[in-house]
Structure 1
């Protein structure tokens, strides 16, 4: 086993060989971008054969206070959103769920009672359990194995790499190892994590649109249910019919300042914090790392960009990353569905990619347009048996709530909870 700081420490040809059947979010350029973007320290653990060939790898990052919601599982696990309490929930039941969540978090902290009730739950977990070594990429947590590895070798590689992550977390002062976006169908990883003492539960879901097997976009539309096909055609027609609007791809680097401004507006609209200059620098970095993969479908009003999305085109999928919009432009038509769904579907079909990966959450808009949702499970380990037991009970609660919630979007597409 070797513990590296960056994918740059591995020869490009070696990494390409290891990931030749993986998706774009395991590519060298994407990982370089993630290393640039994430504030925490990157950890890349590799396994080699006796002859020195790269056979497996696991990449993680140490969560810090500045890590985003999807890069620090404590922030998601400690939020009320993970309980999926909706407007129709019985108020007594809602209060009971909130109390149970708080009690289990403070139980993991070894505290019988809350100190003052004001400390956010994610901060309680970080203070008491410690920060996480988080293993994830875009919307998946997985271990990379050489595509030629036999099943027995792959399982042993996963076992060794997970064990090395546990040891490395302890060595770096992290309190836990977390795999926040494990797919329920990744049976080998789930079995190894359970064997290694991890506890898990469904925490969120990821959505994708199937584009394999279609010769062109019209063939894809013809296969849709009639109501959904009408929605596609109506929204695209709305975009075409508004005077002054035009749609097409634009260059990311050349329009980075405007794209960053629009992304920042969308983040703020949805309650987030935004630094347009930091976003602009990140977009320049992404354009430099993955120049052949970046796609920016944009809508212009009288020549000025008013809405845009950012996608990455890979061999297996087109990945939807971000969306930005000028909400001061009232007459912007169906800019969002065109940029977020219809254009990437066209891109995927034209390139032979099998799916459009739409990322986490936001299920309603995605399923309305034909996306399939699959659960993502958080698996976590900490060496403190008492804290781990409390976290396991918390994950059991979260799994129960999310399994029921995700059934709205996964009916007929496979189980969402733990076996």
Structure 2
């Protein structure tokens, strides 16, 4: 089997990619991945594998930079205080957990006293080649391939990704959001020397097979049905106006609101960068996005951005005017209820909600599915120390996620 490493999706024949991902979900689509390439500050990479029949499989990723966001930067994720799940812990326990976490990061990382903790890991390992889609890390293999062929293709791609990282001057490969049910990929990653830990989970509403919103509600327990109906009714009676925005025309207001949400949760937003990204998406793919919005006195006070594709919609972002005390149930309507309406009407199988925020999502009937981070570094000693950090975070996160996840957590 022959492999090639390419500088992004445009270097691969579009028809080949579409054929490989035919029937796959939204985040395998060419349009979505091209938007991801626009968003990521680091260089994109596509690793492709070929056999006698042509393109047998591929993976898509990007190299990290200091500007890469936490969900695409394993060093930021592994060093983040939020990964410790300290909500409700007493001061003594929190101090002990933070001290042990710092000890493990320092042991795995490079020496140094200044700057954020994640920079120790970045200084030790350099950039990472990160393989991820919206809420999963996947290897795409040809439909109809035998289990043996799929395993062979996956192995060739992972090995080629390791070499591609080294060739690019990077010091690691990360698959941050592996589904524990993906036995082929997990087996290959283990065989190729990756270390793993559970760090987060992804949420979704399943809408497949529902021909109306009431039919969807019928799939939920009674307490969730009541909440949907009560919150939709409250918004209808609030005097606020609901509708949809044009992502390109309304990009400036969307950016203002999204920046307010990011600032509320501790991020320093770049409002103009958000605006440019929305214009880019709205200009290139106007029919692939929907932006449910809530207005008060003719001014938008809340909105959510959803990428719409073949099998599902993807909840990308939310923005809100927090200076207004009474926003009724704007968040639930823009983030959940309107997208469910649209998914049911279009026959899509799911509304995918991304990571974290489990309380708000599960209280309305979303299901939560764990994701494992798998990381490879070339030196055995470094791998041992990084593995200890991953195992520590696996234990911290598994205990927390058990509150929300119905399936076994590895």
Q: TM-score, normalised by structure 2?
A: 0.96
Q: Provide Cα deviations, 1:242-279, integer angstroms capped at 9, x if missing partner.
A: 22x11122221121111111111111121111122111
- The aligned residue for residue 24 of structure 1 is 26
Task: Provide the aligned length of Structure 1 versus Structure 2.
Answer: 408
Per-residue deviation at 1:327? 1.7
Pick one of 314, 321, 334 that aligns with 1:339. 334
Per-residue deviation at 1:219? 1.6
- The aligned residue for residue 416 of structure 1 is 409
> Counterpart of 1:338 in 2: which secondary structure?
helix
> Counterpart of 1:47 in 2: which secondary structure?
strand
Per-residue deviation at 1:99? 2.3
Per-residue deviation at 1:280? 1.2
2:79 counterpart of 1:78: yes
Pick one of 3, 6, 31 that aligns with 1:4. 6
- The aligned residue for residue 100 of structure 1 is 100
Closer, same or farther: CA 8–357 of 1 in aligned 2, 3 Å: same
Matched residues in 1 for 2:274 and 2:257: separation?
A: 10
Aligned residue runs from structure 1 range 161-200, under 5 A: 161-200=157-196
- The aligned residue for residue 288 of structure 1 is 283
- The aligned residue for residue 391 of structure 2 is 396
Per-residue deviation at 1:241? 1.0
Runs of 4+ in 1 over 3 A off after TM superposition: 90-93
Which consecutive residues of structure 1, in runs of 5 or more, have no partner in the other structure? none
What is the root-mean-square deviation in Å for CA atoms of aligned residues?
1.5
Q: Provide Cα deviations, 1:39-93, integer angstroms capped at 9, x if missing partner.
A: 1011111112224x22211111110000001110110101121111122x24443
Which consecutive residues of structure 2, in runs of 5 or more, have no partner in the other structure? none
Aligned residue runs from structure 1 range 71-150, under 5 A: 71-87=72-88, 89-109=89-109, 115-116=112-113, 118-150=114-146
Matched residues in 2 for 1:35 and 1:213: separation?
A: 33
Matched residues in 1 for 2:161 and 2:296: separation?
A: 50
Per-residue deviation at 1:348? 1.2
Answer whether contact 1:211 1:355 (CA < 8 A) is retained.
yes
Aligned residue runs from structure 1 range 201-240, under 5 A: 201-240=197-236
> Counterpart of 2:249 in 1: which secondary structure?
helix
Matched residues in 2 for 1:105 and 1:276: separation?
A: 32
Answer whether contact 1:60 1:134 (CA < 8 A) is retained.
yes
